[in-house]
Structure 1
Amino acid sequence: MVVDGGWGWMITLSAFVHSFLVDGICFTFGTFLEHFLKYFGGSNGKTQLLSSMISGTYLSMGLVSGALTDRFGCRRLAIVGLIVASVGLFLSTFSPNLDVMILLYGIVSGAGFGLVYTPSVVIVGHYFNKRRALATGIAVCGSGIGGFVFAPLSVLLIETYAWKGALWILSAIVLNGVIFAAFYRPLPSPPNTSAFASSTDTEIDLRDNSRCKQLVFAFKQTFNLTLLKSPTFALYSFSGFLVCTGFYIPFNFLPVFASDLNLSAREGAILISVMGIFNTVSRVLVGLLTDQSWANCILINSTMLFIGGIATCFVPICTTYAILIAYAALFGTTVGTFVALKSIILVELKGDKWLSKTLGLVNFMISISVFIGSPVAGALSDLTESYDAAFYFAGGTIGLAGLMCFPLRYIARWEHDRSPQDDETKEPRLTSMRTVHM
């Protein structure tokens, strides 16, 4: 049963709030960075593990949260996830050293957010059919709005209550997300259905209720590395890996870079807010643009990544606040474009029959790059004693990713001409686990 309205809009609002909370916390790590460096006395590289762990863990949790959602339901899993994330943030303020902080803030809170995000996306799909794209779009827009709101809020809280008090309040705000998770009322499911199988595309017996087998099935789906034999998919996957290696670096380093230019903490937070709002707006506008028959989504993606990467390399010579604001708007548009076009490009390159498999593997590779990117940028900053190297590194990886995408359409055409059955008639043997858009 699909509602396509009514209580479904309350579900959409709740999913929006959860997206707002999850990415709002993750995107505004940069406002805390300077305080973490001073308090724990760690290097930039190690301190950046806090950001990479919380973001990477929440993304990589998609590997198991789909199976857990099927086992326990969207409402229960989201409630547990919010409680875990809130407790992790709260307890992290009592950390005696950076290692414990990484465990509590990065891994525990990240795991909690990972448990929230998947059911929030999944349940919207349960309640909508004809309006599913609209409802999902509204729900994931909470991501950019979260960055827009939480950045200045975090600075205000830090100025008023110090970083520990700020995290206490943020953990309480996250805990209030439980109220919205309670609205995730499940719809009755048709008999003999599974989140991981359908009667037309899997060899698994649907009457087998073994959750362990379903979980193993989900892992087999995600780690179906035979997809990497496709030159088109391998190239786009590596491009996505490079993009997300640099994805969080400007979010994390721009506030401290602004501080070195003698800008206030609030001005640094506004830069994050600008990135957040342009991230949101660009997702909507790019979606509308690519619906036009003349639009070339691969060219749009490639151009924006290349321009965003080059602009990031030039951040070290930006000496005025106005120029930094312009860069923040451009970078927010760049990442919003990448996220909005990811599934669209995969459909164009490999066909919609392969979307669930390709998107699952791409998201897994992205989660690995998120673990790597910020700590490497921090280590480079330690070696050079300057934040410039972090922006060169981020800009280089994102710009290179854009360059790699330009010939994708031609490579896809060559691959299709060589073996057309791979794209049109060959059905994937495994169905998808539930995946989460970054």
Structure 2
Amino acid sequence: MPPATTMDRGCPPPDGGWGWAVVFGSFISIGFSYAFPKALTIYFKEIQEYFSISYSEIAWVSSIMLATMYAGGPVSSILVNRYGSRPVVIAGGIMCGIAMVAASFGSTIMHLYLCIGVIGGFGLAFNLQPALTIIGKYFLVRRPIANGLAMAGSPVFLSTLAPLNQFLFDSFGWRGAFLILGAIILNCCVAGALMRPIQVKPQVKRAEDCDKSDAEDGSSTPAAGLLSGQEQQRKSGCCGRINTFIDLSLFKHRGFIIYLVGNVVMFFGFFAPVVFLAPYAKHLGVDEYSAALLLSIFAIIDMVARPGTGLFANTKYIRPRIQYFFSFSVACNGICHILCPQATGFVGLVIYAIFFGVAFGMVSALLFEVLMDLVGAHRFSSAVGLVTIIECGPVLLGPPISGALVDVFKDYKYMYYACGVMVLVSGIFLFIMNFYNYRMLDREEKRKEEQEVAVNMSAKEMCSTVEKGNPREENGNELEGKLEELSFMEKDESHTDDMPAEDT
């Protein structure tokens, strides 16, 4: 697991205190970000009839909103790195409110694409990414629990918004409901106000303590000075300026690439089953309120599964190899979707919603925890931004492709089969590649320890040679040779610097 992100050596994250208020703010922001696009599916059938459009066309509303939320990740990351989480979340809440109010006056489906999909999607992006980032700054030991509690906001809000949307539609129509939802989502601004920047008091060390710690780090040796100078020169230039905004070196991180490829495949079939759960129930003859109840059942189970998964993942048996647990959770989602067409009535759909809620909650609770486990809290903001911009493709195309399958076959079962296969393949891929990654990390850790021993031995030899007071010419030649040897070893070691052994 990566070391704690600290502002000063000896100052780890507080793991509590105001951090729990931050978790509550993240709970609200994440809840709206993930639940809002799903809860809007309650209006899909009526909007489809109002504008006389197909299943595929109406699916673009939530699809564009989710894709824009993911595509806005890098922009959100840059703003968070520059201004912090609080102002970004408040701005996102205002954007979402304006988007829903403007959508209530929509006269064409393109108007809804622009207002709900683009403007609302960017607002959700400004809510999601800062809420995920700030948890890693306040927590380390209890981070899986904190992430699980924050991610539970999605099912809590979904279980509340699903029946609320049905009530608002029956009472005010979809236009009036959108106007009210625009006022409700302004609560994200309150959530952003809770995200106070972390304040860490710097610890002033005595001179002898600093000298001792520097000696332990090897920074006082001539070899360390040479190596640190080479490292600074390597990091300077154009790439260094770009990395001040977002860390592009993550594309050289093996674990990050494995995570990214597995998630891209998974997201082609991850959201569509939720988007079409209520329409599928209505297709089977289930009444409207019972169809909305399915989303509530799914959300309640998901609500319990997320913090439970966080507690379980924080145990000493799971956390050292948490990537395996994530792979298992993804595979369980795929199996649920493949078995869904066997449900032909309301009772069968309830059983599917229960198992799907458990599997979905497991993946959602671990989705960003495993990424933080891979890259560390100090690179997590950039990692989320890069992941979301790439994942916006499958998030955008997944639901419309699924809707096209429904239009072609006039049946939902083929859509569920396709989504199940995609998610199951992703789970198998992640399990195999994480097994390979863990083995490579163990080998690199051993090799790094051997190189550190060799560097320390060489540094001691140089120091002892200088202290003996030999002729300057001989000592100079020998010292120069040692420094060149250490420089060559540092260049070899730099090939694995982007994938440090402790970043599991």
CA distance in 2 between counterparts of 1:360 and 1:378 reads 28
CA distance in 1 between counterparts of 2:368 and 2:172 reads 42
CA distance in 2 between counterparts of 1:142 and 1:38 reads 32
TM-score, normalisation: structure 1: 0.81
What amino acid is the match of 2:291? G
Higher mean C-alpha deviation, range 351-360 or range 314-323: 351-360
Contact 1:24 1:149 in 2 (8 A): no
CA distance in 2 between counterparts of 1:76 and 1:142 reads 21
Q: Secondary structure at the match of 1:246?
A: coil
Contact 2:149 2:306 in 1 (8 A): no
1:362 deviation in Å? 4.1
Q: Secondary structure at the match of 2:107?
A: coil
1:274 aligned residue: 297
1:328 aligned residue: 353
1:114 deviation in Å? 0.9
1:421 deviation in Å? 7.9
Contact 1:242 1:401 in 2 (8 A): yes
1:428 aligned residue: 498
Q: 1:83 to 1:353 in 2, by over 3 A?
A: closer
Higher mean C-alpha deviation, range 22-31 or range 337-346: 337-346
What amino acid is the match of 1:328? A
2:269 aligned residue: 246
1:392 aligned residue: 417
Q: 1:91 to 1:304 in 2, by over 3 A?
A: same
Q: Structure 2 matches for 1:132-171, cutoff 5 A?
A: 132-171=143-182
Contact 2:69 2:124 in 1 (8 A): yes
1:22 aligned residue: 33
Contact 1:57 1:114 in 2 (8 A): yes
Q: 1:360 to 1:100 in 2, by over 3 A?
A: closer
Rg larger in structure: 2
1:56 deviation in Å? 1.8
What amino acid is the match of 1:289? F
1:23 deviation in Å? 2.0
Q: Does 1:221 align with 2:232?
A: no
Contact 1:346 1:355 in 2 (8 A): no
2:395 aligned residue: 370
Unaligned runs of 5+ in 1: 192-199, 431-438
Contact 1:223 1:361 in 2 (8 A): no
Contact 2:77 2:385 in 1 (8 A): no
1:367 deviation in Å? 2.9
Contact 2:267 2:394 in 1 (8 A): yes
Unaligned runs of 5+ in 2: 1-10, 203-227, 450-492
What amino acid is the match of 2:105? F
Q: Structure 2 matches for 1:297-376, cutoff 5 A?
A: 297-342=322-367, 345=370, 356=380, 361-376=386-401
Query: Matched residues, percent identical?
Result: 26
Q: 1:287 to 1:120 in 2, by over 3 A?
A: closer
Higher mean C-alpha deviation, range 179-188 or range 384-393: 179-188
CA distance in 2 between counterparts of 1:334 and 1:55 reads 20
Contact 1:12 1:124 in 2 (8 A): yes
What amino acid is the match of 2:391? I
1:337 deviation in Å? 1.7
1:85 deviation in Å? 0.7
Post-superposition Cα deviations, 1:160-204, rounded to whole Å, max 9, x if no partner, equal 21111111111110023323333334455779xxxxxxxx9x959
2:311 aligned residue: 288
Post-superposition Cα deviations, 1:326-373, rounded to whole Å, max 9, x if no partner, equal 11121122222223334565577x675997476654444333321121
Q: 1:278 to 1:233 in 2, by over 3 A?
A: same
Q: 1:343 to 1:161 in 2, by over 3 A?
A: closer
Q: Does 1:381 align with 2:406?
A: yes
1:406 deviation in Å? 3.6
CA distance in 2 between counterparts of 1:314 and 1:133 reads 30
2:486 aligned residue: none
Q: 1:238 to 1:179 in 2, by over 3 A?
A: closer
Q: 1:405 to 1:9 in 2, by over 3 A?
A: closer
Contact 2:252 2:498 in 1 (8 A): no
Higher mean C-alpha deviation, range 178-187 or range 24-33: 178-187
CA distance in 2 between counterparts of 1:107 and 1:218 reads 27
1:422 deviation in Å? 9.4
Q: Does 1:117 align with 2:128?
A: yes
Q: Structure 2 matches for 1:36-51, cutoff 5 A?
A: 36-51=47-62
Contact 1:311 1:395 in 2 (8 A): yes
CA distance in 1 between counterparts of 2:425 and 2:69 reads 26
Q: Does 1:54 align with 2:77?
A: no
Q: Structure 2 matches for 1:30-109, cutoff 5 A?
A: 30-109=41-120
Higher mean C-alpha deviation, range 321-330 or range 387-396: 387-396
Contact 1:222 1:364 in 2 (8 A): no
Contact 2:137 2:377 in 1 (8 A): no
CA distance in 2 between counterparts of 1:31 and 1:422 reads 56
CA distance in 2 between counterparts of 1:278 and 1:89 reads 28
2:430 aligned residue: 405
2:460 aligned residue: none
1:427 deviation in Å? 2.5
CA distance in 1 between counterparts of 2:27 and 2:351 reads 27
Contact 2:100 2:116 in 1 (8 A): yes
1:263 aligned residue: 286
CA distance in 1 between counterparts of 2:249 and 2:47 reads 36
